Homo-oligomer: A and B are copies of this chain.
Amino acid sequence: MMTIGEAAAASGVSAKMIRHYETVGLLRPHRAANGYRVYADADIAVLRFIRHARDLGFPLEKVRRLLALWRDRNRSSAEVKRLALSHVEALEAKAASLRAMAASLRQLAEHCHGDERPECPILDELEKAP
């Protein structure tokens, strides 16, 4: 049984975020008589779970669903896999979009002299009509 500060240290989630996860309903710690939140080992496990999921880029809504599956002893691994792969697709789509931007811009930059002169194909491109 620990306070929020200890739970933060034990889980690697900041106290601020722990409270936030509670307000969005991912967590329900007990309260001591003085109003302090009290975290049991199971709560710490939840917090670590959340952190790992966040480290993999899952948005909180998907973390919520993962948690539900985690707690459900009758889940099918298929459902977990589906959720995970949909997230993989989202990540890859986003990454591809960023890489496309980077590639276009790098392309433009390669044609830029990068000297004292003001002429610059990067600005020319940004200025274009369409």
Contact = CB atoms under 8 A, between A and B. Distances in A.
Interface residues of A, number: 56
Interface residues of A, dominant DSSP: helix
A122 interface: yes
Interface in A98-130: 98-99, 101-102, 104-106, 108-109, 112-120, 122-123, 125-130
A119 B55 CA distance: 22
Given A81-B112, A114-B81, A123-B69, A105 B88 contact: yes
Given A78-B115, A115-B77, A49 B126 contact: yes
A40 interface: no
8 contacts: A52-B127, A57-B98, A77-B118, A77-B122, A80-B122, A81-B114, A81-B122, A82-B114
